[in-house]
Amino acid sequence: MKTFLRDNSLTLVLMSLFLVSLVGQVFSGLGVENQQRSEHGEALVGLAEFLRGGQFLSTLFENWESEFLQMWAYVTLTAFLFQRGSPESKDPDKENPQDRDPALDADKPDAPWPVRAGGFVRALYGQSLGLAMMILFVISFWLHLANSARHAGEEAQQHGQAPPSVMEHLGSPEFWFESFQNWQSEFLSTAVLVVVAIVLRQRGSPESKPVSAPHSQTGAG
């Protein structure tokens, strides 16, 4: 058990922080919703009703969407773009192990089975991380869109207006404002990390160069 906790501590802590943050979002969001309803003389909502509502689900998937977009962009762009001096980049002047042809390791018994299988399976596996992030982004984008349209429909009905369809909402400034306000922050934070890591260090972190490494060294190794 002790070995399991040590070997999986990063994932366990991150998922714990995720759950704590999610619970915080749920109950603070419920408080805001009921405060607004109370000010307008409307009936308060319970936890279950709030969790099913378009507003909560829209904000939830709106944030997931931007995170998966960031990860997809980061994974795919770092495959062929460089930033000299950053541990977040491959070295443009060296052969990098990430670029090694996996077919050269097809006979290794400890290689992942898609590598040993070869052909289309190996080629697909070679792009699987980026594809997974892209699929998660597309799913989150759709869930954000569908629930944002639900929330817009709920507000429209309160004002005696016809609720928009999902496709109508897709073309609305409101939906894209929700998306772009998160996308820009994700791209900014990633770019800042790439650049500041050229000259700043975090001892013990694989996301940082060794503390004594020169600023010109590219890659975390």
Segment-wise mean pLDDT, segments of 10 residues, the chain, 221 residues = 92 97 97 90 92 94 97 96 95 91 94 94 96 98 97 87 94 96 96 96 93 91 69
With a pLDDT cut of 70, the percent of the chain lying above it is: 100
DSSP 8-state symbol, 118 = -
The span from the CA of 73 to the CA of 67, in Å, is: 10
The span from the CA of 23 to the CA of 32, in Å, is: 14
Q: What pLDDT, on a 0 to 100 scale, did the predictor assign at position 159?
A: 81
DSSP letter for each residue of 196-218: HTTT---TT-TTS--TTS-TT--
pTM: 0.92
Q: What is the pLDDT of residues 16-46, one digit of tens each?
A: 999 999 999 999 999 999 998 898 888 899 9
How many residues would you count in the chain? 221
